[in-house]
């Protein structure tokens, strides 16, 4: 179940990146074609055709892309494994979890 959740989160973040790339493309593309094809969102773009508005939209989309990339990196990063230390003495083996041992040594 954990792998399914991680896969879903990564796919949604990747979809978000694609959507933000489309928004950036529409902001800088031919405004007449965009106005004809996309309705309300494009009406917003049509009202804000100046360079400053395009830059604000682009920077906002880039921030959202970076956040989505961070989500992907966090989800794909390996999980921290619990480590164990094996102590062999006089024929008997003792397994000690590394974290409590590290805490005691500190």
Is 67 a residue whose pLDDT tops 80? yes
- Average pLDDT for residues 41-64, to the nearest whole number? 82
The 3-state DSSP composition of the chain as helix, strand, coil percent (nearest 5) reads 75, 10, 15
Q: What is the pLDDT confidence band of residue 72, given thresholds at 50, 70 and 90? A: confident
Residue 47: count other Cβ atoms within 10 Å of its Cβ. Answer: 9
Res 66: pLDDT: 92
Q: What's the mean per-residue pLDDT of the chain?
A: 78
Res 88: pLDDT: 65
Alpha carbon distance 91, 50 (integer Å): 79
- Model confidence pLDDT, tens digit, residues 9-39: 889 899 999 988 887 887 787 767 766 666 7
Alpha carbon distance 94, 85 (integer Å): 8
Is 69 a residue whose pLDDT tops 80? yes
């Amino acid at each position: 179940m954990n792998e399914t959740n991680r896969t879903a989160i990564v796919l949604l973040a990747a979809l978000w990146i694609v959507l933000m790339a489309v928004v950036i493309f529409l902001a800088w593309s031919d405004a007449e074609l965009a106005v004809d094809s996309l309705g309300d969102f494009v009406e917003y773009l049509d009202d804000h055709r100046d360079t400053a508005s395009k830059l604000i939209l682009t920077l906002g989309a880039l921030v959202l892309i970076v956040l989505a990339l961070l989500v992907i990196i966090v989800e794909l990063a390996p999980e921290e494994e619990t480590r164990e230390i094996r102590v062999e003495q006089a024929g008997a083996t003792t397994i000690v979890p590394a974290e409590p041992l590290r805490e005691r040594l500190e």
